[in-house]
Structure 1
Amino acid sequence: MSTPILVPQLESDDQRLSVSLWLMRVGEEVTRGDRIVELLVPGVTFDVAAPCSGTLTSCDCRPGDEVHEGSVLGWIDSPESDQTADVDDSRLD
């Protein structure tokens, strides 16, 4: 299952926001909460965390690209087993 990495909601809509650098590379395994990409608001940088565990499969924005709240920065493929629990119905009576 693919999960997007999104630009989080900011307090101010009028701030210019850009991608500073990627902290992980495509193909690397990530854990939910890992710092994945650094964004820049003039004078301040902040990190965007992985929304789930899995493999970073795409970095859709390059350093210097301007982004906005809700923009897709990249994608993580997470194992289906993390998303749904397997239940053995034969054990239920």
Structure 2
Amino acid sequence: MFLSNYRGWVVVASLIVCISTWIAVERTKLGIYPRVATENPVLVQAFGINVPRMITLIHAFGVVRTRSRFCHAARWSASLTFFTSRRCIMRCWASS
């Protein structure tokens, strides 16, 4: 199987992103607090963490990150239509 240099770098970059995300979620406080907050929010609030604000910020970050990535990719590839809504793609095509 032959991979071009570009595709090889894409595979390597994807693996790095996946592994670093897994490490961040499993091994740091950044990942531990949200997991504990979903199971026992009272315990996390006892540590002085504002659980509603933390959950809101996590969801907002995910929405912004997902929307910007899919809209950016939609400009370059029409094959991503099954990942995003047609409205998002139309806005991206219109804005480029």
Q: TM-score range by the shorter chain?
A: under 0.3
Higher helix fraction: Structure 1 or Structure 2?
A: 2
Q: If the length of structure 2 is used for normalisation, what is the TM-score?
A: 0.21
Higher strand fraction: Structure 1 or Structure 2?
A: 1
Larger Rg: 2
- For CA contacts below 8 A with separation 6 or more, give which structure has more relative contact order: 1
